[in-house]
Homo-oligomer: A and B are copies of this chain.
Amino acid sequence: MLGARVLGARVLNVNLDEMLRRTTIFRRLAGEDRQRVANVATVREYEKGATIFSEGDASDQLYTIVSGRVKVFKTTARGTDVILEIFGPGDPLGAVAVYESRAYPAGAIAIEPTTCLLIPRTAFFSLLELHPTIVRSLLSGLTHRLVELTSRLAELSGGRVEARLARFFLKLATDIGQRRPEGTFIPLALSRQEIADMIGTTIETSIRVMSRWGKEDLIHTEKDGFLLRDRTALEAIAMS
């Protein structure tokens, strides 16, 4: 449990209900049902870089992100990592493993200070029995993830690194970008290594491209994110 701190549920009981309301899975529950979930839920906090679970771990809990961001990744045969997705507040974590009672098929690491809500598998299953709406909600989430993943698969395979990187930042911009007078700000701090893991290349290459783009005033790395300065230039690179 390195980097994790378990908080007594009683202390936070006031907030638990509020937390549950913000999750995509449990938000539609009636008040009393949410209360029942709250009674068996645990809150856990992770500092940046802390491992939430590792690939192959037995899955006994369903995680839900309350705040922070988490990268879900798989380690390839060669030892390099590939980031499958980056999850944020409200997103479930490990739903696939818990539902199928199998080991986690990928690892999860906090890339920001993160707090999660943990529901034991047994409690989760009895919820599924009682509330078909939760099953529906799960289905919706999974289908969206499937579509996302297929897009990433098409994206990763082949093509020049520069184009992939440009498309990656353009997608981030439309997803979580904030308009500013100087450009579009992406409030997501990723290391060069994590950028490389997202687009399937090495850290040196990602550093090289980011460094050049910084000098060419296309995109700048800031303390807590990235600032897109020249969106049209990136779009041109993405097309090529």
**Do residues B99 and A158 form an inter-chain contact, with CB atoms below 8 A?**
no
Does chain B have a CB within 8 A of A153?
A: yes
Does chain B have a CB within 8 A of A177?
A: no
Q: What number of copies of this chain does the assembly contain?
A: 2
**Do residues A99 and B143 form an inter-chain contact, with CB atoms below 8 A?**
yes
Does chain B have a CB within 8 A of A151?
A: yes
- Cβ-neighbour of A153 out of B77, B84, B138 (below 8 A): B84
Interface size class of chain A, counting residues whose CB lies under 8 Å from the partner chain: 35 or more
**Do residues B143 and A76 form an inter-chain contact, with CB atoms below 8 A?**
no
**Do residues A156 and B159 form an inter-chain contact, with CB atoms below 8 A?**
no
- Cβ-neighbour of A142 out of B78, B84, B143, B151 (below 8 A): B143
Give CA–CA (A147, B144) in the complex, Å.
Answer: 14
Does chain B have a CB within 8 A of A105?
A: yes
A106 neighbours in B (Cβ, 8 Å): 150
A-B contact pairs, 6 of them (CB 8 A): A76-B155, A77-B163, A78-B159, A80-B157, A105-B147, A158-B201
